[in-house]
A and B are shown apart, each in its own frame.
Chain A
Amino acid sequence: MTLTVPTPLADAATSDAALRRFLHGLPGVDQVGAEGRAANLATRSIKTTAKAYAIDLAIRMIDLTTLEGADTPGKVRSLCAKAVRPDPTDPSTPSVAAVCVYGDLVGLARDYLGDSGLHIAAVATAFPSGRASLEVKLADTRHAVAAGADEIDMVIDRGAFLSGRYLQVYEEIAAVKDACGEAHLKVILETGELATYDNVRRASWLAMMAGADFIKTSTGKIAPAATLPVTLVMLEAVRDWRDATGTLVGVKPAGGIRTTKDALRYLVLVNETVGIEWLTPDLFRIGASSLLNDLLLQRQKLASGHYSGADYVTVD
């Protein structure tokens, strides 16, 4: 197990009781206050040059995702093509950050993307439920990495977390991190199942203590998925983690972010909670499938002065 945290924090991870003492000792989150702050930031008005900047930034932060049982090699190939060149009519459009697929399709994506610079993220560890033995989860992870994934999106065991078996969650994340090798680890908290912001904050810290490179809100399979207040609480956690350890951990809201307006609100949240340091695809990602087309439509509108329409961007 690799410990990436300084000793005082690592000492907390010796037993369920020690972890409980630490995690429950974090300041609480007032629900009304957190939601009020997120709603207040959502009223920011992002126009003209700021909007153009933010749209390109949002495109560069997208993990373009397909996670369906019905995914096919053809679907993955067209996803990759779109990831590299999102708008065939405008070569100035930046590429997205990564494609995100199931483990068995990683090889295909790697064949297509090669060393284009785009990352390939694979969901692993019995995504989305996380209900499998540790051996299976680790094998799932190793397979995806071997097939060419350089980012692993794992899910935590919510059952263990909610019943207070924090050490089990911690050790599982640490073991997956170990299995990732060089690949970056994104830890999905599935905040829709954690129920309270206090739990979101605790799960964020637990994941970072165990070695997460990114903390991610949701699988996209559970409602509610990403929300602004949940993302705010996670951003506060990575900010405080930076203050405590000097290490920067990324944040990825995923699921339910469909419009440019939504995406801009997330960027404002990042800008005003953790600052510009996090406004890079290395530290902030947006997990989405349909968002990209709305960003492209808005981008075309800014460039041309008029709206085109759904037929002027590609369906996949």
Chain B
Amino acid sequence: MQPTPFEYAPAPESRAVVDIASSYGLYIDGAFVDGTGRRFKTVNPATEEVLAEVAEASGGDVDRAVKAARHAYNRVWSKTSGRDRGKYLFRIARILQERAREFAVLETLDNGKPIKESRDVDIPLAAAHFFYHAGWADKLSYAGFGSDPKPLGVAAQVIPWNFPLLMLAWKIAPALAAGNTVVLKPAETTPLTALLFAEVCEQADLPPGVVNIVTGAGATGQALVEHADVDKVAFTGSTEVGKAIARAVAGTRKRLTLELGGKAANVIFDDAPIDQAVEGIVRGIFFNQGHVCCAGSRLLVQETVADEVVERLKRRLTTLRLGDPMDKNTDIGAINSPEQLERIRTLTGIGEEEGATRWSAPCELPDRGYWFAPTLFTDVSQAHRIARDEIFGPVLSVLTFRTPDEAIAKANNTPYGLSAGVWTEKGSRILRMANAVRAGVVWANTFNHFDPASPFGGYKESGFGREGGRHGLAAYLDVA
């Protein structure tokens, strides 16, 4: 018999596990309240279906939220022992695990990422961050910050849309473990899992006001970080907004940590394990549609193996399955918003105009929703904008190098410094590269692997401060 295609039948995850309300308020002082601002819609980027209406917090709403956080800090949370804070965090972690499917489905609907990734990466890692920091809550005296390090107070936290619940966990878990209360603003295109998390706080009997969630866009975020009674500002997002926040916070008593953009180099030496390196390139730039600040968006490949690597990479990209994010076999989901899709189109257009050679995986794009086929550019030079600007999409720029020194020079020749990857079977080369590359994370023979015990953060315009690990605790403690 002749071989026939082995077509995978649709295997959609059921959306029945999650109830989406038609409209959501703000979560302030342990209760859902109506906002006083106008309302906005959040849509499923894979179908353009409106999922819910969400309140936009006004300046007054933000003020109420900060007051609630201050009150909870003064009256309850600063007097709650580390052991008891740990109990709440363990409880939240367990509830996240119990309701993992619900969160995964909601994340995929609101964000457009494949259910495979929300199910296997986002939600388990979010729970892991709460478990990890729950363990620290009663052991802060042993974290290397003195015998009794103090919290900062009220933390204002603004998070992006690429990993909504996971970024919430990165922000809230260490803040609460260290004894702070928080007001968190999720991104305007992906507010739903943060609002479901508010339910988890209620389920865990977390005292009112310890966690407050205010939804909205840039103006809400600005009101929050500029609020006079905030002690700490933590932001993850674009470098442009990060700079504006740094200016707004300058000259105040507020502590600031920023986790911003990146243009990471993924460096492939000719003695690399080529098949696994190809997987690592795919994971580096096509994971989460490339909506990853630490994405390996610049491939630096040694010229002796450049043609082979690119050929293997193209073959591999033709097997990626783009489509319905709710299908368990989908590898590439939807671009999160029309604005982001436009930005990706603009920058790839510039790439072609500047003379780079474009290749896109031959996949059919659905009619509705926001989609972009996995794309790579060859003949890219260091001066091209696609080699310098963060595209934040499934677009890889391929550059070559001849010597290790050239690889280091090119890897570092960027205003960013969030992450990098090194692929070689030679241990000494890994160590040299890790020392020479100016990036907060350097992955060796892997890419985009995360663990709550490992500090994450940037050099240069990728920001400052660390999240995760012992180092991440410093961002929420009154220590120099």
Contact = CB atoms under 8 A, between A and B. Distances in A.
Given A33-B446, A276-B5, A45 B11 contact: yes
Contacts, number: 80
B12 to A, nearest CB: 9
Given A43-B116, A43-B120, A279 B1 contact: no
Given A43-B328, A280-B1, A30 B276 contact: yes
Nearest to B270: A27
B9 A51 contact: yes
Interface residues of B, number: 28
A36 B280 CA distance: 10
Given A27-B275, A29-B275, A32-B446, A54 B6 contact: yes
B4 interface: yes
A51 B8 CA distance: 8
Given A43-B116, A44-B8, A277-B3, A27 B279 contact: no
Interface string A35-49: 011000001111111
B280 A33 contact: yes
A45 B328 contact: yes
B305 to A, nearest CB: 9
A32 B445 contact: yes
A57 B6 CA distance: 10
A159 B429 CA distance: 33
A28 interface: yes
B3 A27 contact: no
Contacts of A32: 276, 445-446
B319 interface: yes
Contact of B329 (A44, A279, A280): A44
A267 interface: yes
A5 interface: no
B310 interface: no
Interface in B233-273: 271-273
Contacts of B280: 33
Given A33-B446, A43-B116, A276-B4, A28 B273 contact: yes
Residue with the greatest number of chain B CB neighbours at <10 A, chosen from A30, A277, A280: A30
A27 B274 contact: yes
Contacts of A44: 8, 328-329
A47 B9 contact: yes
Interface string B413-452: 0000000000001000000000000000000011000000
B367 interface: no
B7 interface: yes
Interface in B29-56: none
A193 interface: no
A178 interface: no
B9 A49 contact: yes
A307 interface: no
A27 B275 CA distance: 8
A115 interface: no
A34 interface: yes
B6 A271 contact: yes
A29 B277 CA distance: 10
B361 to A, nearest CB: 14
B9 to A, nearest CB: 4
Contact of A37 (B3, B5, B6, B279): B279
8 contacts: A29-B273, A32-B446, A37-B276, A45-B328, A47-B10, A50-B7, A53-B4, A276-B5
Given A46-B9, A47-B11, A278-B3, 12 more contacts: A28-B273, A30-B276, A32-B445, A33-B275, A33-B279, A33-B445, A46-B11, A47-B8, A276-B3, A276-B4, A276-B6, A280-B2
Interface of B: 1-11, 116, 120, 271-277, 279-280, 319, 328-329, 425, 445-446
- A-B complex: 5 closest residue pairs judged by Cβ atoms: A33-B276, A45-B11, A30-B273, A45-B328, A30-B276
